Amino acid sequence: MQYLKDDIRKKILSSALIEFKDKGYLDASMRIIASKSGIALGSTYRYFENKESLFNTLIEPVYDKLLLYLVKIQVQVNTCTGENCTEVPAYIMNLLNKILEFVEESSSELVIIFNKSKGSKFENFKNELTSLVYDIYIKSIDSNLREDDDTKIVVHTISHDLIEGIAFILNQEYDGNKIKILIDKLVYFYITDIDKRFKKL
């Protein structure tokens, strides 16, 4: 019966989410996922062709929503000019508020995307996010500083550290409210008076 098949599929997905969050994509085991689902390994492959297919089924919907939002922000950043690119806090806060929405809706998937997706097609997500934050920061700097190699290195380092800080917080198994508080504090540190600090570079 169809409802039994749906129930089995949900059991597999639920067990897989735990396994991928615990061990990451590379080290996760289809055998363990099947065992925790109470389903024979062979039967599991009738629902999902392989580990990649199972992983993508879990992660792709959340990743696609995140990517869609990142593209919107990237378009805004790409089209801004020196006169209207001073709102670094607003761009970054909007970006991170969207991530916080995903903490409430899909926290396990978000942890996997940020920290446990090595070896999958999603493994470059943090690099993509770092590049976007870099673009936001660099557009906020005086045009005469943007081409300076030392400035670029510092801005890239700041962007990388902000994203790694968020990934670290997400990986700590805190509740959603605690994560929000910590990310707010982290962002405050990285964006408060940032334009003035860049001018001193």
Question: Which regions of the chain does DSSP assign to beta strands (E)?
Answer: none
| Residue ranges of the chain with per-residue pLDDT less than 70 | 1-4, 81-89, 142-145, 194-201
- Could you tell me the two tokens for 171? 């990986």
- What is the spatial distance between Cα 136 and Cα 42, in angstroms, rounded to a whole number? 48
The DSSP output letter for 136 is: H
The DSSP output letter for 119 is: T
* CATH number 3.40.50.2000 is the correct assignment for the domain at 1-48: no
Which residues 6+ apart lie within 8 Å of 76 measured at CB? 91
Q: Tell which residue, 167, 185, 48, has the closest CA to residue 99.
A: 167
What is residue 84's predicted lDDT score, i.e. its pLDDT?
57
Task: Name the residue ranges covered by the structural domains of the chain.
Answer: 1-48, 58-199
- What is the spatial distance between Cα 126 and Cα 114, in angstroms, rounded to a whole number? 6
What is residue 81's predicted lDDT score, i.e. its pLDDT?
65
Q: What is the pLDDT of residues 154-181, one digit of tens each?
A: 889 999 999 999 999 999 878 888 988 9
The DSSP output letter for 133 is: H
Which residues 6+ apart lie within 8 Å of 39 measured at CB? 8, 11, 12
CB 166 within 8 A of CB 186: yes
